[in-house]
Structure 1
């Protein structure tokens, strides 16, 4: 992480996206999955456009530097990812979907190394990534049968690949628009893709929606907090930290989702959930080992220097 601020934003984003799982489950009482995603990101795009306009930011993309990240992030991270994910969840359980999305941090270093040789991960880090994936499996606890024949598995795998492609190839270095305006356009492009998917995927159209007051409140929450605010923070951190670091957030989300599911929906926490938490923590320590050691040494050196100054004063 570049700073304590990045660490705070990273953990806050994981927590907010963790709340999206129980919130989505509540919102599905009134909306089919793909239509729910389309409404969520349409509202989220509207919120960001309104904020950008109110704060005087330019909203007009100018040239390739603006349109490339808008189209790549919008089509892959917002549209294709969520369309495939929600289509897959029609056929597989949330546990299977969560486990398959845990492949994102595994696939991201592979794709990044192929197209961005300057960014790589150490052997220790690779072991940490795999250990984190084990933690996701323990928390999700999917049944083995879910991986054998369900077409939904391929949809969710496609969703994971779409997310990785978007993360690796969304490059804002040449953008002229402010980040807020870029993210507004990304969400708008993704919302249009999801609107199209809602008409194509059987049973997922807006005609099948029967929103209640409760489900619509949850949709508003999903649009504003995990949607508009969450993706604004995600793409800001992606620009600063890179795809490998941000791919690891898929390992931080499940513990938050499990805790929120326990608090909000009364879902149980099993011994394997605790084991998953521990595996993810150990995996993160391995990935971030140089910074962990450096931070500990810096703390020790700082304490030693403080003690030495105190002794001189005495």
Structure 2
């Protein structure tokens, strides 16, 4: 009996992407947000380049380069810089709760710029999810928390713009190819940070460097690979539903790894966000088939039914 690897791929994706949040906090002990951004993307880019011959990643068309550059700039470069800076003050688990609002932002952007239909239920779900993220951003009391939380929310906007940008690319390339193109473009944008990052490596602790390298190899490179494997074999709705587990796993990982305990208001905001996402992805009920009128009995006249 052949083992179905798809559920394992989904579980691996959730685990890899959830543990990235506490790993960032560990890596920030030795690197600044900008240095960590470049180091993580560089490691991921080198890993993807090394396995390119086995993954059949094609060369992109010249006409698509501007879109790939935009995806790399928003979803990779800006996202890494903003999230890393935000996690200087925002707990890792709380950051994952804020990032859960990405699908809601993506839906609103797709409705505005791609003309996708936004039903009242989906619009309400999106606004509910964003309200939950806003509540999380306002829940902290320590100095610098609120500004950092809004920075994490800006990182979520970067991810939403990434999803908007890559949608046309996915008509011609695989999900793994698009992720690799964006990763390489994002790394190229951060190349000016390479000298300071290289100088920081000898002074960083072994744990911080190990966390940074693992971020590049596991959540970034391996995470996109197993995600692409799962999405290719499941519907998008089924696959993305599994990602609702990421904040819960991130909260557990942050508690076990870092001893973090999220603020109750942040947890409430996270629950509101997840509720909004459930509304956003709620499928409308199919229309009930009309019941045909019974044939008249012999001797009777067929009259149309009265509908009040």
- One of 211, 214, 220 as aligned partner of 2:204: 211
Q: Any residues of structure 2 matched to 1:152-231 within 5 Å, and which?
A: 152=148, 155-170=151-166, 171-173=168-170, 175=172, 179-197=175-193, 205-209=197-201, 210-231=203-224
Map of 2:249 onto structure 1: 256
1:64 aligns with 2:56: no
Aligned residues of 2:100 and 2:274 also touching (Cα < 8 A):
no
Map of 2:126 onto structure 1: 129
Shift of 1:227: 0.8
- One of 84, 87, 110 as aligned partner of 1:86: 84
Aligned residues of 2:83 and 2:151 also touching (Cα < 8 A):
yes
Please tell me the root mean square deviation across aligned C-alpha atoms, in Å. Answer: 4.1
Equivalent residue of 1:49, what SS? helix
Equivalent residue of 2:56, what SS? coil
1:51 aligns with 2:66: no
Ranges in structure 1 where 5+ consecutive residues have no aligned partner:
295-314
Cα 1:268/1:155, change in 2 over 3 Å: closer
Cα 1:181/1:165, change in 2 over 3 Å: closer
Select the structure of larger CA radius of gyration: 2
Cα 1:268/1:162, change in 2 over 3 Å: closer
Q: Any residues of structure 2 matched to 1:69-148 within 5 Å, and which?
A: 69-89=67-87, 92-94=89-91, 101=99, 103-117=101-115, 119-133=116-130, 136=133, 141-143=139-141
Shift of 1:253: 3.1
For normalisation by structure 2, the TM-score amounts to 0.70
Deviates more, 1:56-65 or 1:133-142: 133-142
Ranges in structure 2 where 5+ consecutive residues have no aligned partner:
287-308
Residues in 1 aligned to 2:19 and 2:107: alpha-carbon distance in whole angstroms = 27
For normalisation by structure 1, the TM-score amounts to 0.68
User: What count of residue pairs does the alignment treat as equivalent?
Assistant: 277
Residues in 2 aligned to 1:206 and 1:64: alpha-carbon distance in whole angstroms = 34
Aligned residues of 2:104 and 2:125 also touching (Cα < 8 A):
no
| Richer in helix (by share) | 1
